[in-house]
Chains A and B, each alone.
Chain A
Amino acid sequence: AQSVTQPDIHITVSEGASLELRCNYSYGATPYLFWYVQSPGQGLQLLLKYFSGDTLVQGIKGFEAEFKRSQSSFNLRKPSVHWSDAAEYFCAVRTGFQKLVFGTGTRLLVSP
């Protein structure tokens, strides 16, 4: 069965430091992968997606993610975190027609 694992429930990063959020997926075919961010009172916002081609994808707000098929991973990175990045981050894989399977999320806390 398709699944997404985000091993870190929460992560605390100092403002200005780099960030990496881990995501591993289980899917038989070529995966369509997504990272979403959820802030209180707002809907999930798409940060970036990978369908094919270059395995390093750039997203909004300075985020990037790298698809590694050999590791079944799609980790999210940002070189310098801002306080406004504090939120819940979800990795997801698209399975059937438009069906998304989400990971359990990683809550990012940014310390001064």
Chain B
Amino acid sequence: GAVVSQHPSRVICKSGTSVKIECRSLDFQATTMFWYRQFPKQSLMLMATSNEGSKATYEQGVEKDKFLINHASLTLSTLTVTSAHPEDSSFYICSVPSRGQETQYFGPGTRLLVL
């Protein structure tokens, strides 16, 4: 299966700063990538679909101005948490659809802690 990497694996930042998280598809090109958020002891919630060459598609309730997504190339998508606040602390996970679109390959996740 595809290998998906995320960087950084964990980050601590001060409230009010912005944090960028990278998601890379190492095995093949991906026109679509997905960003999820996982709270402790809770499920993964889809935040947005990252589309190469066009705007991201956000799920209902997700602030697009706060969570900026850029699909810079066919192997890289970035999620920027702008003006981060403690309530943004969470585990952020990206995924890449498999070649046949049947399933998704997930990155290892990025743990964000906002102080």
Contact = CB atoms under 8 A, between A and B. Distances in A.
Interface of A: 4, 9, 34, 36, 41-46, 49, 51, 90, 98-105
15 contacts: A4-B43, A36-B106, A42-B108, A43-B106, A44-B93, A44-B95, A45-B106, A49-B102, A98-B32, A98-B49, A99-B46, A100-B44, A102-B43, A102-B45, A105-B42
A41 B108 contact: yes
Interface of B: 1, 4, 9, 32, 34, 41-46, 49, 93, 95, 97, 101-109
Given A34-B103, A43-B105, A49-B103, A98 B34 contact: yes
Contacts of A46: 1, 103
B33 to A, nearest CB: 10
Q: Chain B interface mostly helix, strand, loop or mixed?
A: strand
Contacts of A34: 103
A19 to B, nearest CB: 20
A44 B106 contact: yes
Contact of B102 (A51, A90, A103): A51
A68 B34 CA distance: 29
Given A4-B43, A43-B109, A104-B41, 19 more contacts: A34-B103, A36-B106, A41-B9, A43-B108, A44-B93, A44-B106, A46-B1, A49-B102, A90-B43, A90-B44, A98-B32, A98-B49, A98-B97, A98-B104, A99-B49, A102-B45, A103-B43, A105-B41, A105-B43
A99 B93 CA distance: 14
A18 B12 CA distance: 41
A100 B104 contact: yes
A43 B4 contact: yes
B113 to A, nearest CB: 16
Nearest to B3: A43
A43 B93 CA distance: 8
Contacts of A101: 46
A43 B41 contact: no
